[in-house]
Structure 1
């Protein structure tokens, strides 16, 4: 080989060398050059990722929580917002179609968002382009392709094409082309892959009786066949010891067994598995306490994480769905009707705080007693005064003196003027 006028001899390797002469020496082939292949880590798919308890807990918790938050349709009037009932109220709040209730429908919808990265639902209208809504149906994001024709979007699924104005579309995170998306499992695939690898290692380790890989040292027989027979004898002895639950088994004189690889404790596998829970919680922006990671939880910070959940996670995803529902159900130029989640439903488990809040709302004139009873799904009280607003009597407008109460009944008799003092003064 000539290079810049110089003759360079091509490298040759002996046939008896342990090196593989067919693999060039380079950085990307360094392991293969010495006969070692790259690490075969488990593939990450939605099905395999859900086998990681932290991922399964995050997806189940978020999808169920968001599905449990009730949604209502409202119409703006001169007296304020009024809840819409009838067919629209049923579709939004109770059952989007004849085959699914609201919880089951929205749980599947959010499961797709927090696994593959996108939730899709088709709006069934009374006729194409009409405002009347007959129901909503789920679409399979894995079998749906999205195309753009000018500024219009088209969703193709099951041999049908749906216009973008009839599809509820909530992506986890859009890519730069605004068509495809990122999914949380794909984005956190390395962290999930490490968790899967540790799960596989731990299960294999304990399935083998907690015996790590061992190396037999000492005088070994010559020849490949003799070595195989010796190894088979050692394996039988170890297996017999495990089955008989005897901690001691014999070895040939002058031989010893030494562990190969890292001790799981020294390799900090327990700490690493705990850290993977935090990593997966970070990928979903979920406080770790909701993945049952209570190692550092106290009464105070657990309560703060509960507030963090509503303000910085659940509230954001409910707003994303509200935007899609309002735009696709009512149109961009129809501000008088809208869909809104009732986040107060997240307080259903705290009876004391819920009742105290309702009592304060009634006493401060924000709720009538019957409105407070309706929130608790109780019937209206038959007294008409229960539909009136009440306020504490000591509350007055700033700068105004409180009016003395008016006494009912006959006024007390006036006292007769006394002339005793006048007589004394005259006498003096």
Structure 2
């Protein structure tokens, strides 16, 4: 009932809302480079970081669960179960929705998804809105509304209760701040190096310079010089043009620093490493294998889950839990959970050792191990086993057994 009233209250103001999205379209000038979300994505390191984080989060299984007493089961009876697990709307799968929203957060600093409800307040779907077209506006009496647009450009006003808002790190509190905007100077250096490389090779791999006449020339000679120079510049762009010959009365002096002296490659490598640090992504995950070894990549993958993916998972879980469920539903045990098991799975040898110790120590049975490996249970494997060595250890420590019995009594 409450959700229904809020939903109806926001609709009459929709036509009156105006969207001021200039803040998100502004270009940040860093040196000679214009830094925006679109231009920054032209850097391969930025694109790789956004893709790695977005796709890693999107591939995690996401389910609605319900905890009753000491038992946890799937909350398939809740309307959000099918929406989150499979299809939040007609156009997107659960993977597409989460990948797109997370990429918006990593680019613009905020990801917005409207919760669609029927008249009874029940969830019917989730609709993502573009970050560049969405703002948070303060109305009268400390009331806030999200101003955005639909596909036809019509202005919409959405109450905070009906908007899932994932924020990047920022100091504004109610809004996240774009990582690209915060690190515009660092990204501007990368864009400048990229632009320099493009111009260098576009000119045939030759530095620019000044062509000057050795003697004073009249107007006709200057016109002839300009014509010849245009022909030379055109020939320099041809891959098979061969040597370029200048007239005898023309002197050429190189102006710019050659790439090897400007440390062009070193600058690009360093900038790539800095971008990975901005997004907290291990360098080897964006194909920077210069300092990676086989021994440390496995450990870095685990660190990636713990320190790169886990903070985003917590953000998503907490926001979904407080927006999708009423206080009554939360008290009834409903909650949303990402399953990180797939990303934390070790090598076959490591998993075999894990299952071995779990089964022989008696806290896991063989069917539970089969389920972890996506295999069907087998009759007779539900019994818990204890290794012979563990049994002998218990027999040789009667005092421990006696104390355990007394504690149980």
State the TM bucket, normalised to the shorter chain. 0.7 to 0.9
Change in 2 beyond 3 A, CA 1:114/1:199: same
Q: Which runs of 5+ in 1 are unaligned?
A: 1-37, 404-428
Cα distance in 1, alignment partners of residues 385 and 219 from structure 2: 95
Q: Give the match for residue 139 of structure 1.
A: 129
Q: Give the match for residue 91 of structure 1.
A: 83
| Higher helix fraction (1 or 2) | 2
Q: Give the match for residue 335 of structure 2.
A: 338
Change in 2 beyond 3 A, CA 1:392/1:71: farther
Displacement after TM superposition at 1:148 (Å)? 4.1
Displacement after TM superposition at 1:223 (Å)? 4.3
Change in 2 beyond 3 A, CA 1:228/1:212: farther
Cα distance in 1, alignment partners of residues 233 and 252 from structure 2: 11
Change in 2 beyond 3 A, CA 1:353/1:234: same
Change in 2 beyond 3 A, CA 1:82/1:391: farther
Q: Give the match for residue 370 of structure 1.
A: 367
Change in 2 beyond 3 A, CA 1:43/1:270: same
User: Secondary structure at 1:261's aligned position in 2?
Assistant: coil
Cα distance in 1, alignment partners of residues 30 and 91 from structure 2: 47
User: Secondary structure at 2:197's aligned position in 1?
Assistant: helix
Quick check: 2:305–2:344 contact (8 Å CA) kept in 1? no
Cα distance in 2, alignment partners of residues 370 and 399 from structure 1: 25
Q: Give the match for residue 105 of structure 1.
A: 97
Displacement after TM superposition at 1:206 (Å)? 0.8
What TM-score do the two structures reach when normalised by structure 1? Answer: 0.75
Q: Give the match for residue 295 of structure 2.
A: 300
Q: Give the match for residue 59 of structure 2.
A: 68
Q: Give the match for residue 316 of structure 1.
A: 311
1:265-322 deviation digits (Å, cap 9, x = unpaired): 1011110011110111121121211111111112233233212211111011101101
Q: Which runs of 5+ in 2 are unaligned?
A: 1-28, 150-154, 399-409
Cα distance in 2, alignment partners of residues 100 and 367 from structure 1: 39
**Is 1:56 aligned to residue 47 of structure 2?**
yes
Q: Give the match for residue 196 of structure 2.
A: 201
What TM-score do the two structures reach when normalised by structure 2? Answer: 0.79
Change in 2 beyond 3 A, CA 1:253/1:147: closer
Change in 2 beyond 3 A, CA 1:364/1:288: same
1:167-195 deviation digits (Å, cap 9, x = unpaired): 2111112333x233311111122222221
Displacement after TM superposition at 1:246 (Å)? 5.3
Change in 2 beyond 3 A, CA 1:310/1:125: same
User: Secondary structure at 1:395's aligned position in 2?
Assistant: helix
Quick check: 2:37–2:108 contact (8 Å CA) kept in 1? yes
User: Secondary structure at 1:374's aligned position in 2?
Assistant: helix
Give the aligned CA root-mean-square deviation in angstroms.
2.9
User: Secondary structure at 1:182's aligned position in 2?
Assistant: coil
Quick check: 1:238–1:249 contact (8 Å CA) kept in 2? no
Q: RCO higher in 1 or 2 (8 Å CA, sep ≥ 6)?
A: 2
Quick check: 2:110–2:166 contact (8 Å CA) kept in 1? yes
Quick check: 1:347–1:354 contact (8 Å CA) kept in 2? no
Cα distance in 1, alignment partners of residues 128 and 357 from structure 2: 41
**Is 1:79 aligned to residue 70 of structure 2?**
yes
User: Secondary structure at 2:358's aligned position in 1?
Assistant: helix
Change in 2 beyond 3 A, CA 1:244/1:82: closer
Displacement after TM superposition at 1:50 (Å)? 1.0
Summarize the alignment of residues 413-424 of structure 1 with structure 2, pairs less than 5 Å apart.
none
Summarize the alignment of residues 11-22 of structure 1 with structure 2, pairs less than 5 Å apart.
none
Quick check: 2:97–2:128 contact (8 Å CA) kept in 1? yes
1:120-177 deviation digits (Å, cap 9, x = unpaired): 112223435x4x433322122222221345565422322332221222111112333x
